[in-house]
C-alpha cells in the first residue's frame, strides 16, 4: 500500500497533511505510517501462512520502540544484533522466546543478557563464538539454543556494502566447514542445536539468489539429518528489496511461493528476518529548503536535513525519491539537493527536477528503513524527531534531541 497521497494539492501521509506536521513538529522530522507498517507485516505473514513460520523483524532497520511494540502486538519475533537492540525489544514488549541474535561480534555480556532473557536462538557466526557461548552458558548453568549462520557463497547482486553471502564477506561460517562445526556443537554440553540460517544481503531485487541460497542450506539440512543432527528450524534471513525508484523487486507472494516450493514436505519451522521490506516504504523524512543557490554549473537546494539524518545517499549512493509537498505547476529546475554538513558527500539527491522556492517543504521518501537507525550527531546536529501517523492522529514517538543532551556526557578536565 502507498500511504502517501496529494489531497487538495498537498502531500498527505495517511490523513495528515505534511504541511501541518511540519508546523507542529518542525523540520527535519521522520514520519511513519502505521497503516503501511501493519499492511507490510500482514502481507508477509499471509504470504507464508500455509506453513508454520515466524517473522523476526530485523530491528536494525528501524529500532524505535513504538514500531517494535506495533510489530510485537502483531505477533512478530525479532532479529537483534546487539545488547541495545535486545533491551529495546524487551522494553517494547517483545516476546524474548521469539528473538534470534545475529552478528559476528557478540560480547560475553551480550550473551549473558540474551541467555537471561531466554531468547529463541543464537545465530552463531564463527567457531570462536561457539566456544565462547558454550563457556558462558556453562558458567550460568544454562543451555543455549543455536543455529549456524552459513555463508552459502551466493551473489546477491546488490550493492557491495550490503552484500553478505559471498565467500569474501565477514559474515557466517564457511559452507565447507558447516558439517564439522555442527558435529562439534552437537557434542557440547551447554549448547543445543535448534536450526540453520543464512542471510545473503540486503535490497535484493531478484528471487534466484534466495532460492540458490536455500537450496544450499537444504543440502546441509539433509546431510545433517544423515549424521543424526536434525534441525528444527530453517531461517532464510531477510534482504527482500523494496522500490526506491525504478527497481522491480519481487512481490512478497512470489518470493514466498519460490521458498515454499523448495520447503515442501519438510517439517522444520520457517524463520524469516525481513527488515527493509517491513518499514522502508512506510516512512519519509520531511525537510525544508533553507536556501536556493545558483552556482556556475549547478543549482543547489540546501535543505535542513543532512547526511547525519539520512546516511544512505552518502554511504551507498542510494536513491530516494524527493517530492515537493505542494503540487506545483511551473517550470521545474534541476537541483542538487544537499544538506548543511561540511562534506562534499553530504547530499540527499542528485539532479532532481523540482519546482522549488526557499522555505518550501520536501519529502524524502522510502526513508523508513536504515534512516533514523543509521543517523548520527555529526556536525553537532541533534537527531530529528519521529512521528507515528495513525489516520488523522500524530504520535510523537521520539522527541527532537536538544543541544544540552548532545553535550551531557562530556567534561572539561579539572572542572
Ligand X SMILES: *Cc1c(COP(=O)(O)O)cnc(C)c1O
Catalytic residue numbers read 342
Q: How far is the CB of 371 from ligand X (least distance, A)?
A: 12
Q: Is 94 in the site for ligand X (CB under 6 A)?
A: no
Comparing CB distances to ligand X, the nearer of 149 and 383 is: 149
341-347 LR contacts (CB < 8 Å, sep 24+): 341/306, 341/307, 341/308, 341/378, 341/379, 341/381, 342/379, 343/307, 343/314, 345/307, 345/314, 346/306, 346/307, 346/314, 347/307, 347/313, 347/314
Comparing CB distances to ligand X, the nearer of 14 and 110 is: 110
Q: How far is the CB of 365 from ligand X (least distance, A)?
A: 17
Nearest to 117 by CA among 132, 96, 95: 96
Q: Which residue has the cell 514520519?
A: 31
Q: Compose the 195-214 pattern: x for residues touching ligand X by CB under 6 A, - for all others.
A: ----x--x------------
Nearest to 363 by CA among 13, 129, 47, 1: 13
Q: Is 259 in the site for ligand X (CB under 6 A)?
A: no
Comparing CB distances to ligand X, the nearer of 77 and 238 is: 238
Q: How far apart are CA 252 and CA 47, in angstroms?
A: 7
User: Which is it for the CA torsion 353, 355, 359, 363, positive or negative?
Assistant: negative
Comparing CB distances to ligand X, the nearer of 63 and 102 is: 102
Q: Is 85 in the site for ligand X (CB under 6 A)?
A: no
Question: Residues 276, 312, 381, 383: which binds ligand X (CB under 6 A)?
Answer: 276
Q: Is 98 in the site for ligand X (CB under 6 A)?
A: no
Q: Is 61 in the site for ligand X (CB under 6 A)?
A: yes
Distance of alpha carbon 16 from the chain centroid: 25
Question: Residues 28, 274, 283, 371: which binds ligand X (CB under 6 A)?
Answer: 274
CB atoms inside a 10 Å sphere around CB 119:
24
Helices (H) and strands (E) in the chain, counts: 12, 21
Q: Which residue is nearest to ligand X (CB)?
A: 275
Q: How far is the CB of 279 from ligand X (least distance, A)?
A: 8
Question: Residues 94, 209, 238, 385: which binds ligand X (CB under 6 A)?
Answer: 238
Q: Three-state DSSP class for 108? A: helix
Q: How far apart are CA 219 and CA 196, in angstroms?
A: 11
Q: How far is the CB of 19 from ligand X (least distance, A)?
A: 31
Q: Compose the 29-58 pattern: x for residues touching ligand X by CB under 6 A, - for all others.
A: -----------------------------x
- Grid cell of 319 as nine digits: 536513491
Question: Residues 237, 283, 349, 385: which binds ligand X (CB under 6 A)?
Answer: 237
Query: Can you list the alpha helix ranges (DSSP code H) found in 17-161?
Result: 18-25, 34-47, 65-73, 83-91, 108-117, 127-140
Q: How far is the CB of 278 from ligand X (least distance, A)?
A: 8
Q: How far is the CB of 56 from ligand X (least distance, A)?
A: 8
Nearest to 156 by CA among 114, 80, 213: 213
Chain positions 310 to 339 lying near ligand X, rule: CB under 6 A, are: none
User: Which is it for the CA torsion 259, 200, 275, 30, positive or negative?
Assistant: negative
Nearest to 166 by CA among 123, 205, 131, 216: 216
Q: How far is the CB of 47 from ligand X (least distance, A)?
A: 15
Backbone region of residue 278 per phi and psi (left: phi > 0; alpha: psi in -120 to 50; beta: other values): alpha
Q: Is 250 in the site for ligand X (CB under 6 A)?
A: no
Q: Is 121 in the site for ligand X (CB under 6 A)?
A: no
Question: Residues 64, 67, 79, 196: which binds ligand X (CB under 6 A)?
Answer: 79
Comparing CB distances to ligand X, the nearer of 25 and 171 is: 171
Backbone region of residue 265 per phi and psi (left: phi > 0; alpha: psi in -120 to 50; beta: other values): left
- Grid cell of 217 as nine digits: 542450506
Question: Residues 40, 69, 102, 147: which binds ligand X (CB under 6 A)?
Answer: 102
Q: Is 277 in the site for ligand X (CB under 6 A)?
A: yes
Q: Is 275 in the site for ligand X (CB under 6 A)?
A: yes
Q: Is 239 in the site for ligand X (CB under 6 A)?
A: yes
From 108-116, 176-184, 249-257, 274-282, span contacting ligand X (CB under 6 A): 274-282
Compute how many residues bind ligand X; rule: CB under 6 A: 16
Nearest to 255 by CA among 201, 217, 198, 210: 210
Q: How far is the CB of 57 from ligand X (least distance, A)?
A: 9
Alpha-carbon dihedral angle through residues 74, 77, 81, 85, given to the nearest 10 degrees: 50
Comparing CB distances to ligand X, the nearer of 44 and 362 is: 44
> Can you give the binding site for ligand X, defined by CB under 6 A?
58, 60-61, 79, 102, 199, 202, 237-240, 273-277
Amino acid at each position: 500500500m502507498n500511504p502517501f497521497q496529494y489531497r487538495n494539492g498537498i502531500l498527505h501521509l495517511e490523513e495528515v497533511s505534511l504541511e501541518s506536521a511540519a508546523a507542529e513538529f518542525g523540520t527535519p522530522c521522520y514520519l511513519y505510517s502505521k497503516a503501511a507498517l501493519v499492511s507490510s507485516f500482514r502481507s508477509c505473514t499471509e504470504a507464508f501462512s500455509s506453513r508454520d513460520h515466524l517473522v523476526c523483524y530485523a530491528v536494525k532497520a528501524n529500532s524505535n520502540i513504538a514500531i517494535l511494540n506495533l510489530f510485537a502486538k502483531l505477533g512478530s519475533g525479532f532479529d537483534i544484533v546487539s545488547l541495545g537492540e535486545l533491551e529495546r525489544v524487551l522494553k517494547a514488549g517483545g516476546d524474548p522466546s521469539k528473538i534470534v541474535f545475529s552478528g559476528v561480534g557478540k560480547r560475553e555480556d551480550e550473551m549473558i543478557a540474551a541467555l537471561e532473557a531466554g531468547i529463541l536462538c543464537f545465530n552463531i557466526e564463527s567457531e570462536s563464538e561457539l566456544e565462547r557461548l558454550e563457556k558462558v552458558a556453562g558458567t550460568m548453568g544454562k543451555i543455549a539454543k543455536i543455529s549456524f549462520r552459513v555463508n552459502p557463497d551466493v551473489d546477491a547482486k546488490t550493492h557491495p556494502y550490503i552484500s553478505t553471502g559471498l565467500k569474501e564477506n565477514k559474515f557466517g561460517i564457511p559452507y565447507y566447514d558447516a558439517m564439522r562445526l555442527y558435529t562439534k556443537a552437537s557434542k557440547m554440553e551447554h549448547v543445543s542445536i535448534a536450526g540453520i540460517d543464512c542471510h545473503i544481503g540486503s535490497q535484493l531485487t531478484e528471487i534466484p539468489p534466495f532460492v540458490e541460497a536455500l537450496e544450499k542450506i537444504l543440502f546441509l539440512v539433509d546431510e545433517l539429518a544423515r549424521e543424526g543432527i536434525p534441525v528444527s528450524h530453517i531461517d532464510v534471513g531477510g534482504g527482500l528489496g523494496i522500490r526506491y525508484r525504478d527497481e522491480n523487486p519481487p512481490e512478497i507472494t512470489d518470493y514466498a511461493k519460490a521458498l515454499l516450493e523448495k520447503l515442501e514436505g519438510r517439517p522444520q519451522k520457517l524463520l524469516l528476518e525481513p527488515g527493509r521490506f517491513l518499514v522502508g516504504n512506510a516512512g519519509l523524512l520531511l525537510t525544508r529548503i533553507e536556501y536556493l543557490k545558483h552556482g556556475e554549473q549547478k543549482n543547489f537546494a540546501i535543505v535542513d536535513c543532512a547526511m547525519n539524518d539520512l546516511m544512505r545517499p552518502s554511504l551507498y549512493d542510494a536513491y530516494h525519491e524527493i517530492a515537493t509537498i505542494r503540487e506545483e505547476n511551473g517550470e521545474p529546475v534541476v537541483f542538487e539537493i544537499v544538506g548543511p554538513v561540511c562534506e562534499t558527500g553530504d547530499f540527499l539527491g542528485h539532479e532532481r527536477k523540482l519546482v522549488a522556492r526557499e522555505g518550501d517543504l520536501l519529502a524524502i521518501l522510502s526513508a523508513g528503513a536504515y534512516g533514523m537507525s543509521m543517523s548520527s550527531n555529526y556536525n553537532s546536529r541533534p537527531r530529528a524527531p519521529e512521528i507515528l501517523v495513525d489516520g488523522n492522529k500524530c504520535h510523537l514517538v521520539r522527541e527532537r534531541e536538544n543541544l544540552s543532551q548532545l553535550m551531557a556526557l562530556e567534561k572539561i578536565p579539572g572542572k
